[in-house]
Amino acid sequence: MTDDPHGETHLDGNAAAGTLAELFTFDVTVAVGRCAGCGRVSTVADTRSYLDGPGMVVRCTGCDSVLLRVVSSPERTWLDLRGLAYLEVDHVTEG
């Protein structure tokens, strides 16, 4: 059914969209990102997200590297994007 070595506990980047919408003025999940680990290029929606921890972790579907992490406290939010080599954002994003 799945090659996910960690069981079927992950969702995809769609599930991270609400949290990311608090931080960005565009829909990050329709942007295309390059994994800094393996170089895989994919839509952010087409990744694996893990939401049950203290923060949110989005991992590469290809190599399982962490692409981005978001941790929020009531006062502020930390955003770690070190796993993304780049994000490519269309100027005319529908929706």
- Binding of another protein by 53 (CB under 8 A): yes
What's the closest the beta carbon of residue 66 comes to another protein, in angstroms? 9
The upper half-sphere exposure of residue 34, i.e. CA atoms within 13 Å in the direction of its Cβ, equals: 5
Among 9, 39, 41, 82, binds another protein (CB under 8 A): 9
What's the closest the beta carbon of residue 70 comes to another protein, in angstroms? 12
Task: State CA 33 to chain mean position distance.
Answer: 9
Among 36, 51, 71, 87, binds another protein (CB under 8 A): 51
